[in-house]
Amino acid sequence: MNKTKKYIQEIRKQGYTIVRNVLSDKNINSINKDIKRVLIESCYNICDKKEILSYKKKNIDFLYNYLKQKSPQLKAHCYDVLSKLAIVNKYINNNKLYDIAKEYLKETLIINSAQLRVDDPSDDRMLPWHQELEQMSLITLNVWLPLTNITEKSGGLSVIPESHKKGLQKHIIEKEINSYFRLPRKLLEKETQIPLFMNAGDAIIFHSFLFHKSTSNISKRNRWTIVFRYNQLSTMPYLKSPKAKMFMKRNPKANEPGHNFIKNFKMNIK
Ligand SMILES: O=C(O)CCC(=O)C(=O)O
Ligand SMILES: [Fe+2]
């Protein structure tokens, strides 16, 4: 069996697969260099000019944490710009990932913009259990590609294998806890939840319906990850109706513009 077929079988069966060595250490170093360049460009504006020489010798964690502490707004601007790094977009154009997505989704693939996530040990971006919705298409293959090693300490993604077979689920918000949509706890009881460990440069590819969540970063380093999605053409409302929005809602309904195809999906949305 060829390798692509093995990955496809795993995605079909368990809802995800891990592809090793998508990025080499050399690739990651090049990305880190560009991340550092962006962070330094902002640091120049808020640090003492005498300090800047020593800051050039610091790593990206130091610079990111410094910006976050000194100017959360400027850090947020960096965050926005980092996702648009040309080098990130160059490396997500990966043949192995493309072939898997193409073979699995069987259609012309659409990529919506990549994101570069930073999860520092304050864990202020932890996502509760969810499916990957609010994308351009209902069915997407999502790529989660860490630039740092994923260990018990760094935290990363936990998944519930085979949960993608349960179909589309209704998400709720618990306002008293945070503003993130989550799956109801009832759905998660008795399910096997497994944390995924991997090396920097390996990638998880997972189905949009797979139940997954962030896990805590209890290390001293930041967790840097590239996240992007292959969207399936035939489940993209935007192409089906002049009234459709480009991105779908968290809890989409079949009677919304361009959403009629949702009727064909097993779902748990009333
Ligand atoms: O990186 C993480 O902590 C979670 C990523 C994720 O699930 C997402 O971006 O939707
Ligand atoms: Fe997610």
pLDDT digits 0-9 by tens, 212-241: 999 999 999 999 999 999 999 999 999 999
Tell me the pTM.
Answer: 0.95
Per-residue pLDDT, 269:
56
Percent above pLDDT 70 for the chain: 98
3-state class of 140 per DSSP? strand
Mean pLDDT for all residues in the chain: 94
pLDDT value for 176 = 82
Helices 25-43 & 72-82 angle (0-180, nearest 10):
140
Alpha-carbon Rg for the chain in angstroms: 19
* Torsion angles phi and psi, residue 2, rounded to 5: -75, 165
- ∠ CA 192-12-226, rounded to 5°: 80
Q: Which of 58, 40, 62, 12 is nearest to 162 (CA)?
A: 12
Distance 87 CA to ligand 2 centre (A): 23
* C-beta 140 within 6 A of ligand 1: no
The reply to whether ligand 1 has any atom less than 6 angstroms from the CB of 120 is no
Centre of ligand 2 to C-alpha 129, Å, is: 8
pLDDT of res. 2: 84
> pLDDT at residue 165 above 90?
yes
In this prediction, residue 24 has a pLDDT band, given cuts at 50, 70 and 90, of: very high
Give pLDDT, residue 170: 95
The finding on whether 227 has its CB within 6 A of some atom of ligand 1 is yes
Q: Which of 178, 227, 247, 250 to mutate to test the pocket of ligand 1 (most atoms within 8 A of CB)?
A: 227
Q: To test the ligand 1 pocket, which listed residue (117, 126, 183) has its Cβ within 8 A of the most ligand atoms?
A: 117
The DSSP code sequence of 30-67 is HHHHHHHHHHHHHHTTTS-TTTHHHHTTS-HHHHHHHH
- Ligand 1 atom index nearest CA of 213: 7
User: Does the beta carbon of 239 lie inside 6 Å of ligand 1?
Assistant: no
Domains of the chain, first to last: 3-22+95-268 (2.60.120.620), 28-82 (no CATH)
Other beta carbons within 10 angstroms of residue 95's beta carbon come to 7
Burial class (CB in 10 A: 0-12, 13-18, 19+), 192: exposed
The contacts found for 247-250 with CB under 8 angstroms, 24 or more apart, are 247/134, 247/135, 247/136, 248/133, 248/134, 248/135, 248/136, 248/137, 248/138, 249/133, 249/134, 250/133, 250/134, 250/171, 250/181
**Separation between Cα atoms, residue 131 and residue 138, nearest integer Å:** 10
Instruction: Please report the pLDDT score of residue 265 as a whole number.
Output: 82
Q: How far apart are CA 68 and CA 62, in angstroms?
A: 10
